Each structure stands twice: as C-alpha cells, then as structure tokens.
Structure 1
Amino acid sequence: MLEEFKKFISRGNVVELAVGIIIGAAFTGIVNSLVKDILMPPIGWVMGGIDFSNYFFSLSGGHYDSLQAAEAAGVATINYGRFINACINFLIVSGALFMIVRQVNRLHILHREVPKTPPRQEQLLEEIRDALRAQSKGVSTAASPSDRSP
C-alpha cells in the first residue's frame, strides 16, 4: 500500500494539482484584498459610505452599530454583507480563470492548426522511395534523388 501511495503521489498530475491548489490559495488572498481594500471602498463611497462587510441581521432582535459589536456581544447574526463580498470575490476569480482558460484554449487551437510538415529527412526519404518505385516499374525519373541539393 505504501508503494502504491508513493507511485500515486509521484505522478505528474498530482504534483500539478498540488501546485495549482497552492497558486489558487495565493490568488484567493490577492482577490480578497482586491475586493476588500480596493473595490469595495469606492463602491461604498458611491453608495453613500456603505460598508458591505458591515451588513447583517441580528437574530436576537437587538440593535448593534456594527457587526464587530454584535459579534463581541455573542449575538447570532446573518452576515449578508460578507456574502455579497464573497460573491464579488467569486465573480472576479471566475472571470480571471475564464480569461486564463480562454487564452490556453486559443493556444491549443493555434497549435493544432499549424500544419505538420515532415522534417526534411523524411521528405527526402519519401522522394527516394517514390523514385525507386518509379524505376522498378520501368518509368524513368527526370532527376535522381542524388542530384537534388538540400
């Protein structure tokens, strides 16, 4: 079982997946900061100084000036402002990933569309083969393969 696990872990796909998860975690931190520190303050300012992360419902019915005050009092809350921020994070991450996948797909399409021409050696061998076939059938060729310059 240990050998099978070592073989599983050392496969390229598992290592690539691990790298992707680590990069994704770092990317998530960047996006969280982008939303919290850069996007939401101007949006809140445009909407009259509103801080979405501070939107909540107190389930106890009491009034609290901020989410931090409600949390400090130990009150159960529904934090829909944080949910709005999480949705914005999701939209940014999914948009960025869409752009990355789109570019990768374009590269794959370009790579597939490039005509695969055989290397020069293979072309020469094919010409020699065709000339030998023609000679064996009694047909003369205009120039022998050895007369051709590369």
Structure 2
Amino acid sequence: MSLATEFKAFIQRGNALDLAVGVVIGAAFGKIVTSLVDNIIMPPIGLLIGGVDFSAWKWILKAAGADGKGEVAIGIGVFVNTIIQFLIIAAAIFLVVKVINSVTKKPEPAPAAPPEPTPTEKLLTEIRDALKK
C-alpha cells in the first residue's frame, strides 16, 4: 500500500478530523485556563500573602542598564502560574476521561455455556438413569 493511499484512508476514517477538533478545543481551553489562573485565582492568593503580583515575581540575575534594557531574570511567578494552569488542565482532562469511560462501559460478556460432559460423565448419567427405573 502506498503512502498516499494510507494517508487517504487515514483521513477518511475521521482520525485527522477528530485530532484537529481536539487541538482547536484544547487551545481554546488553554486560553480559558490561563485567564482563570492569571485574572481570578492568583490575584486573591497574592493579596493573601502580602500583595505579591505573581506575574511580576522574578529573581533578577542581572539588573537592567540605564536604558532599562538588558535585565536577566528568572520568572518564578510566571512559572508558578504555568504549574497551576497545568494542574487545572490535567484535572479537567482526568474528569473528562473518567466520565467517558463510565459512559462507554463495555457490556459484561455473556456467561459461557456449560462444557459438554465427558464420556465418563455420560456413562455415569446413563447408569444413574437406568438405576432410577
């Protein structure tokens, strides 16, 4: 099978469309979570611990020059915000997968028919039935 034929079959199965929809929804969800963390969750937390603005919280390695450029800093607050965003997205995905798994539970397999009796069991059954008569 050629590469083009395999690609055509892949697209026709719907996997590519499902993937594209997932990426678009994931990107939009990521923006919503970013806004939630930056604008709703972190400001009250910063206020509670002394008015810290987490987005501006950084560890300066080299101060800026007189022109205000050239600062080298590690953005600790941005990193904390990103970790919180990740945890929220991971929890949401976990819940979605859990709901999907509970909705799409596979039915229990039907109980197997009892096995055919062995020749010895058949003979014993015949003897028992003969003795009953």
How high is the TM-score relative to the length of structure 2? 0.69
* Deviation, structure 1 residue 106: 1.0
**1:95 aligned residue:** 91
RMSD: 2.1
- In structure 2, what is the Cα distance between the partners aligned to 1:73 and 1:20? 40
Where structure 1 has 5 or more consecutive residues not aligned to the other structure, the ranges are 65-71, 117-150
Structure 1 residue 83: Cα displacement: 0.5
User: What is aligned with 1:135?
Assistant: none
Q: Where do residues 4-23 of structure 1 align in structure 2 (5 Å cutoff)?
A: 4-23=6-25
Letter matched to residue 25 of structure 1:
A
Which residue is equivalent to 1:45? 47
Moved beyond 4 Å, runs of 4+: 1-4
SS at match of 1:36: helix
Matched to 2:60, the amino acid is: S
The one-letter code sitting in structure 1 at the alignment partner of 2:94 is F
In the TM superposition, residue 10 of structure 1 has moved relative to its aligned partner by 3.2
1:112 maps to 2:114: no
> How many Å apart are 1:98 and its aligned residue?
0.7
Match of 1:142 in 2: none
Aligned residue in 2 for 1:33 = 35
C-alpha separation in 2, matches of 1:31 and 1:101: 18
Cα-to-partner distance string for 1:5-27 (whole Å, 9 max, x where unaligned): 44333331121111101100000
Equivalent residues, number:
105
Asked whether 1:24 is paired with 2:26, we answer yes
Instruction: Name the amino acid aligned to 2:93.
Output: L
Segments of structure 2 that go 5 or more residues without pairing to the other structure are: 111-133
